[in-house]
Amino acid sequence: MIRSVVRGFGAALPKRVMTNKEMETKVDTSDEWIVQRTGIHQRYIAGEGETTASLGESAARAALARADLTPDDLDLIIVATSTPDNTFPATAVNIQNRLGMRHGAAFDMQAVCSGFVYAVATADAYIRGGLAKRALVIGAETFSRILDWSDRTTCVLFGDGAGAIILEAQEGSGTNADRGVLTAQLRSDGIHGDKLYVDGGPSTTGTVGHLRMEGREVFKHAVGMITDVIEAAFKATGTTADDVDWLVPHQANRRIIDGSAKKLGIPLDKVVVTVDVHGNTSAASIPLALDTAAADGRIKKGDLVMLEAMGGGFTWGSVLIRW
């Protein structure tokens, strides 16, 4: 049985850090409120010349270097983003060009904060279906550019960044002992579209628009949706919370992360948390957290790693990977 095995990982952040103290000079907020309600202490904000494609390219180069591969070794690029450099061509094609890659296929995937989970699930399906041998999967965002900087209920929450992994087709036995993606569980429900959205687009306003969110409404659904897809992953693989070495959640809010882990019976020392330093980077948050915990030696080869996300759409999903 073909498995999609992680060969490399990488990440990139903008140069500029914006602390909660600096945020206090922009809107009527406080470090205390932001930390208490979200766990966020700082976020990175893209500056001139830093875009979703440039950050994605840097993350991709880091992942390629770690995997000891070159762009010639890839045949698929999927970029999860809701903040593309241009409406088209896709940011994935832009990154393909920046990498000097003239073969294979590249496209973007738009599932907002669940984008990376959707992109990994898609790359895994391509690989297991024989359509690709090595896929570069990137989550890259510059949410700072779609924020309403006068709206304190949203602008304090988000940040910019990118992360990437390389998935490679390898022969497995078909058991949970295999390295690679063991299952992916994806869900969406458009009835919640107006709870987290951007109020513009090419076909409506002809503008990019700004992010709008009913935070409390999103919060209300988050823990239930997250635990739903994680339990579905356990059921699909016959695993339990005790088998999980690392939970790597979408980094939206420390309270949602802690609440989900508690409900699932996963101890907090097995949860990777980076929301304190990255803020909510939407589709980039999981690969940024993966890079942090794999680079510092917490996530090791053979570990069972659960990814989960929930966001605009609503979309939500989980991926269980043996690292």
Minimum Å distance from CB 260 to ligand UT7? 11
Among 35, 69, 148, 153, indicate the residue that binds ligand UT7 (CB under 6 A): 153
Catalytic pick among 113, 155, 192, 253 = 113
Q: How large is the C-alpha radius of gyration of the chain? A: 18
Candidate residues 38, 58, 82, 91; the one interacting with ligand UT7 per rule CB under 6 A: 38
Least distance (Å) between residue 113 CB and ligand UT7: 4
The residue from 192, 210, 250, 278 that is catalytic is 250
The CA distance from 43 to 99, in Å, is 27
Alpha helices (H) along 194-318: 215-237, 254-264, 275-278, 285-295
Both tokens of 89, joined, read: 């061509």
Q: Is-catalytic flag, 250?
A: yes
Catalytic status, residue 113:
yes
Q: Which of residues 193-252 bind ligand UT7 (CB under 6 A)?
A: 215-216, 218-219, 222, 252
Q: Would you count residue 33 as binding ligand UT7 (CB under 6 A)?
A: yes
Q: Applying CB under 6 A, does 311 fall inside the site for ligand UT7?
A: yes
Q: State the burial class of residue 261 (Cβ atoms within 10 Å of its Cβ: 0-12, 13-18, 19+).
A: buried
Q: In whole angstroms, how close is the CB of 216 to ligand UT7 at the nearest point? A: 4
- How many CB atoms are located within 10 Å of the residue 189 CB? 12
Q: Measured from the CB atom, is 106 or 229 closer to ligand UT7?
A: 229
- Residue closest to 169 by CA, chosen among 208, 125, 128: 128
Near ligand UT7 by CB under 6 A: residue from 121, 156, 223, 261? 156
108: left (phi over 0), alpha (psi -120 to 50) or beta: beta
Peptide bond into 314 cis (omega under 30): yes
The C-alpha atoms of residue 202 and residue 56 are separated, in whole angstroms, by: 23
> Tokens 């359509």 sit at which residue?
131
* Binding residue for ligand UT7, selected from 17, 29, 125, 187, defined by CB under 6 A: 29
Taking CB under 6 A as the binding criterion, the range among 74-82, 138-146, 150-158, 264-272 that sits at the site for ligand UT7 is 150-158
Based on CB atoms, which residue is closest to ligand UT7, 29 or 170? Answer: 29
Q: Which helix (H) or strand (E) holds 42?
A: strand 42-45
Confirm or reject binding of residue 284 to ligand UT7 (CB under 6 A). no
Q: Minimal distance in Å, beta carbon 141 to ligand UT7?
A: 11
Residue 37 as a binder of ligand UT7 (CB under 6 A): the answer is yes
Looking at the Cβ atoms of 73 and 276, the one nearer to ligand UT7 is 276
For the residues of 168-188, what is the DSSP string, one character each? EEEE--SSTTSSEEEEEEEEE
Q: How far is the CB of 83 from ligand UT7 (least distance, A)?
A: 13
120-152 b/e (C-beta count within 10 Å ≥ 16 → b): bbbbbebbbeeebbbbbbbbbbbbbbbbeeeeb
| Total of chain residues touching ligand UT7, rule CB under 6 A | 18
Collapsing DSSP to helix, strand or coil, 229 comes out as: helix
Distance CA 130, CA 265 (A): 37
Cβ-closest residue to ligand UT7? Answer: 215
Q: Which one of residues 185, 260, 280, 318 is an interface residue with ligand UT7 (CB under 6 A)? A: 280
Residues sharing a CB contact under 8 Å with residue 100, sequence separation 6 or more, in sequence order: 71
* Structure tokens that stand for 263 in this block: 């409900």
Using CB under 6 A as the binding rule, the residues of this chain from 100 to 139 that contact ligand UT7 are: 113
Catalytic positions are 113, 250, 280
Q: Rule CB under 6 A: which residues touch ligand UT7? A: 29, 33, 37-38, 113, 152-153, 156, 215-216, 218-219, 222, 252-253, 256, 280, 311
